[in-house]
Structures are given as structure tokens and as C-alpha cells.
Amino acid sequence: INTRRNAARRLEEEVSNAGAPPHGDQVPLLEEDANVEQAPANPPPVTEVEMRAILAQIAQAITIQAQAATFQAQAMTAQANREVDEDPQEFIDEVYKTLHAMGVSSSEKDELAT
């Protein structure tokens, strides 16, 4: 019986609050005109001049990104070269450990050394 009373009371509250503004965690009802401020469905066409400017910007961005990647690769190579120059035996040991971890046989290591 309590379950029926609680359900009936909740139904009455929902009916009475149907027109009331939301409060707390409740989500407001969507309005029919909510999407009026969106961009038009058919945007104006892009002119050739605008398209050329857009493509030039894209090309410039790609060039800058490629230059940055090249600079980073050069810096990493220079760092690796400095590390090899500092202690070549340590570099050789690291290569040997890597080859060993890869399962390269001694004869294959000898071939790589020549």
C-alpha cells in the first residue's frame, strides 16, 4: 500500500511541477527555436581569392611544421653523436644489448660488425 501511495504522490508532484521552472539538477525543457542561432545551412560560396589565401595558409603551416620536425631530428642526431663521441664503448655495449635482446646470433653480430 505504501508503494502505491508513494507512486501516486510522485505522479501528483510531476503533474503539478510540469509547468514550473527547473531547479537543482533538473534539465530544462528544450525550446523549439533553440537552433535558430546556428550557421545557415547553405553558407555563401568561397571565392577563388579566398580559397587561394586559405591554401597559402595551409601550405605555410605545413612548411613550418616540417621545419620544426627537421630541426628536432637534427638536434636528436647531434645529441646522439655527442653521446657516441663521449663514450664509444658504452654505445657499443648498448648496441650489443639490443642485438642480444632481439635474439641476434653471434655470427650475425659478426656480419654486422664488418
Show me where the domains of the chain are located: 47-83, 87-113
List pLDDT tens digits, range 48-102: 999 999 999 999 999 999 888 888 888 888 887 776 667 777 777 877 888 778 7
Q: Go through the chain and tell me how many residues it has.
A: 114
Buried b (16+ CB within 10 A) or exposed e, 48-71: eeeeeeeeeeeeeeeeeeeeeeee
Q: Rounded distance, CA 93 to CA 84, Å? A: 11
pLDDT at 73: 85
List pLDDT tens digits, range 19-36: 555 555 555 555 555 555
Contacts of 91 (CB under 8 A, 6+ apart): 83, 84
